[in-house]
Amino acid sequence: MLHKELLERSNCKRPNRRSFKHPFKVMTVYAVILGIFTTSFIPGNLTKASQVSVSSTDTYENRFLELWGELHNSENGYFSPQGIPYHSIETMIVEAPDYGHVTTSEAMSYYMWLEAMYGKFTGDFTGFDKAWDTAETYLIPTEKDQPESSMSKYNAGKPATYAPEWELPSNYPAKLDSGAAVGVDPINSDLVSTYGTSTIYGMHWLLDVDNWYGFGSRGDGVTIPSYINTFQRGKEESTWETIPQPCWDQLKYGGKNGYLDLFTGDNSYSAQFKYTDAPDADSRAVQATYWAAQWAKENGTDIGAYKNKASKMGDYLRYAMFDKYFRKIGASSSAGTGYDSAHYLLSWYYAWGGGINANWAWKIGSSHNHFGYQNPMAAWILSQDQEFKPASKNGASDWSKSLNRQLEFYQWLQSSEGAIAGGASNSKNGRYETWPAGTATFYGMGYEENPVYADPGSNTWFGFQAWSMQRVAEYYYKTGDTKAKALLDKWVSWVKTVVKLNADGTFEIPSNISWSGQPDTWTGTYTGNKGLHVIVKSYGTDLGVAGSLANALLYYSKASGDDSSRVIAKELLDRMWKLYRDDKGLAAPESRADYSRFFEQEIYVPQGWTGTMPNGDVIKSGIKFLDIRSKYKNDPDYKRVEEAYKNDKDPVFYYHRFWAQCDIAIANGVYSILFGDGSTPVNNSTIAPVSAAFDRNTGSQKDIKVTLTPNGNQFTGIKEGSTYLSEGKDYTLSGNEVTLLKSYLAAKATGDFKLTFDFDKGADPVLTVTISDTTASGTVTPAAATFDKAKDKQADVAVTLDKAGHTLLGINLGDRALSSGTDYTLSGNTVTLLKTSLASLQAGAYKVVFDLSEGNDPVLTLTVTDSSVAQGSLKLQMFNGNTSAQTNGISPKLKLFNTGDKTIGLSDVKIRYYYTIDGEKTQNFWCDWSTAGTSNVTGTFVKLPQAKTGADYYLEIGFTQGAGELLPGQAIEVQARFSKSDWSNYTQTGDYSFSSTGNSYADWNNVTGYVSNSLKWGVEP
């Protein structure tokens, strides 16, 4: 999305206008990926910027503070009056944004990162708070922008109607196909029940900050800023071929159907809203917030709620992990039934929308995955850091899977030389076509050299290498992950061969790169990809990319101890500062041959389609880029561009892009944080050995001795994760010898764990300890038993326990410690579980653990049934979508089975969920999704005439005639939700029907099912 355009500055040739037929085929590469190569015309009098006041003696910290000052100097014009960062200071710039004073979620995420680092150096995090507040106010659509009345009508069973993607804009509009396969959305109910709303918490990618186009906020034409979109029409659509349109389309501007029928073919059109999220920006926001939290702790403060905001954004960002139409990964002709539509990668976008005046909504993921959008650092944060783990049931585990899948993706795509190739798609050509024989695959998805767009190829820009691998390097620095290290070792080796540090003090980095071959099909192990190759096609001095590249090299150097990477990064930072520092930041000259397209690029509009832009510009067949952007003629730089065009010359600009200035500032800040002023190279400390084993068997336990080689650094302690071990208790230190005490090691679980030996400088060495236990283990016979709660069938459960010479310390049933004499008796080797205790259990499966003093604890699987429960033609399974003790919304997820041999009319069926209201209020019911159709499910609240234990109300779920029939052997699902009208909390932990465990359907007797008012399933309270 954001990076739809790429300009190859060094190779960009001006076409002969007389023979100009197809602009995006004649020119080699065109305009920019997110503003990569831009600037404004060089000022007539280029002067050095005045220095901001700095107090540090650290050159690189001072550089960061200087650039921060330039960005916040109102005379420089980086921010709007509302405090929104523009894409660039200069307005006449066409890249992914088609105007300089629009902005992107990319810029907003860099703003957060910039302010987080400012807090690191100054202790002042109010700027970080403001950056988040600005994003929440202007970039994340509010409830007014995506009304709950529409979003709550979203049908997770049919998330959207399929429309094919096409290669050329001239193939559009794409006709909707309601008969095409569309899978189910498996995370909607989880998110709705967790956050109590159906709206989406993610940044829309493109904002008209000054309302330059005139759409206004929610179509009013005047309010600043305005959500807009551009790209809609296939992989060959460059920015030059787009038609800007409002995200809130009231059919007020454009043609008779607004802008809708330019892109989508339908029988009729209605006013609607639609937004698109750029996943790499949202994940960078998470990354920035993590560092803000870490640095705030160092300064004795806390960023508080902003951690929750980042966690919440990451929760919704999971939509980017799913196929566009939730089809099965690797079997894309079939609709997904749940997580089988998850590729677990950060795809190119996710999007959502709905009716303005009608209650309907839709959501889509993306089938196309580019390596450049991956962020293993964010995945690690969201899956491992307790302060950032999402609140939803599956959020953290989904991100854990994503972390591993992303690392595999990089491995699969690493070329023979070390650079990372394009990506993979679950939908060939955006139409789920069959991949040609011999296509390399990744979990069944086909390799694509240039995912998403081809004009120019999306992976021909070197910047993706720097951006994406910076995240890998940061992740490696934090975790020491060997997969990340192997990736970076090879990638950095390649980078060292392609970065030019010239003798005259200049530098060059790759601009455009070219690919040949393809990776080997992924089988779980990196093969070396001898058939996949990269070459550098052109070089340039893109300053933002150079900053990001330096950032990546610095984290790698610090983590690996490779000082040559630090030296290269330092040279890049020093040289660009010396060569390109000006009075507003840093800027290098950029020749824009593609700017002839202002005057020559035709924009496809179907024959006969007519409409107008808000300023009156006519939209019709045959128009040029400038025809629907006539306000450019009033731009202060327009005359210069026009004059250059008339004289067949390429205009030269010095652009100050916000994201690029941030990338340079942050890289200098990273240098300061990791290496200080960098005047003295750091020698890394080492340990020996780097791996060790420990046996928990009492007779085999031994201390582990580790020898330190400090290399001039000071040893400061040992960490397990982020927690320091206690000297004297967990280990001892004598000279350069550390002894890990067996008393500490014996308490560790079997398996591997890592200890980081912390030194004040250099890369910290890591010891991997493998814990085993050769102690003889006890056994229980039988290993499984059944207890029937029916009063006439209750019986004690007796088992034989072989303690293998160890001592029985206790017996646990789930999380509950059983009491001898009350819950069980012990006679010799016989343990008897008493029926009087077992009768209190709910039906289900339990683990009874016999806790022995040594060895592995034997486990009895106990299945509790109740044959007295009313049986019949129904069976109900259930789990609670939200298991929090306190919640403002209760979310029973139900599955109803017809276990009989006769068809049941669903209108005759009732289901009851029993609970306590905890404060009398009116209540509201929603069906978030049902295979019977959400509109065919009803909910009624009934107050019990006399309160029971765990219940004073029940929700009765019923069905209309439209729900149809339930055939023998079939089942339907109902995902329900209810809340009090004032959104006050329920305490659900003691509720009769509440299930505190499980996140999948299981038989549950505490919900009841009725046919024609006759109890057929469950036990009433």
Residues composing the chain? 1021
Cβ(898)–Cβ(978) below 8 Å: no
- Both tokens assigned to 489: 């070792």
Residue 697: other Cβ atoms inside 10 A:
15
DSSP state at residue 634: G
**DSSP string across 433-459:** BPPPTT--EETTEEEESS-S-BTTBTT
Query: Whole-angstrom Cα distance, residue 333 to residue 256?
Result: 35
DSSP state at residue 624: B
Query: Whole-angstrom Cα distance, residue 468 to residue 452?
Result: 17
The label of the residue with tokens 């730089």 reads 637
Residue 137: other Cβ atoms inside 10 A:
13
1018 burial (CB, 10 Å; 0-12 / 13-18 / 19+) is buried
Query: Whole-angstrom Cα distance, residue 472 to residue 332?
Result: 30
**DSSP string across 831-884:** EEE-HHHHTTSPSEEEEEEEEESSSPPPEEEEEEE-TTS--SSEEEEEEES---
Query: Whole-angstrom Cα distance, residue 787 to residue 790?
Result: 9
Q: Go through 653-691 and write b for each residue having 16 or more CB atoms within 10 A of its CB, e for each that does not.
A: bbbbbbbbbbbbbbbbbbbbbbbbebeeebebbbbeeee
The label of the residue with tokens 């602009």 reads 23
SS3 readout for 320-379:
HHECCCCECCCCCCCECCCHHHECCCCCCCEEEEEECCCCCEEEECCCEEEHHHCCHHHH
For residue 110, how far is the Cα from the chain centroid?
A: 16
Residue 366: other Cβ atoms inside 10 A:
31
CA dihedral 39, 466, 536, 494 (to 10 degrees): 150
For residue 10, how far is the Cα from the chain centroid?
A: 35
Query: Whole-angstrom Cα distance, residue 716 to residue 971?
Result: 61
Question: Could you list the active site residues?
Answer: 106, 280
Q: What are phi and psi of 877, to 5 degrees?
A: -115, 155
Residue 320: other Cβ atoms inside 10 A:
26
* HSE of 350, CA atoms in CB hemisphere, 13 A: 32
Q: Go through 721-751 and write b for each residue having 16 or more CB atoms within 10 A of its CB, e for each that does not.
A: eeeebeeeebbeeeeeebebbbebbeeeeee
The label of the residue with tokens 């009729």 reads 268
Cβ(851)–Cβ(808) below 8 Å: yes
Cβ(625)–Cβ(688) below 8 Å: no
Three-state DSSP at 673 gives helix
**DSSP string across 456-519:** TBTT-BTHHHHHHHHHHHHHHHHH--HHHHHHHHHHHHHHHHH-EE-TTS-EEEEEEEEEEE-P
Residues 6+ away with beta carbon under 8 Å from 70:
49, 52, 76, 78, 584, 585, 661
Query: Whole-angstrom Cα distance, residue 456 to residue 433?
Result: 23
- Both tokens assigned to 555: 């984290």
For residue 639, how far is the Cα from the chain centroid?
A: 43
Three-state DSSP at 715 gives strand
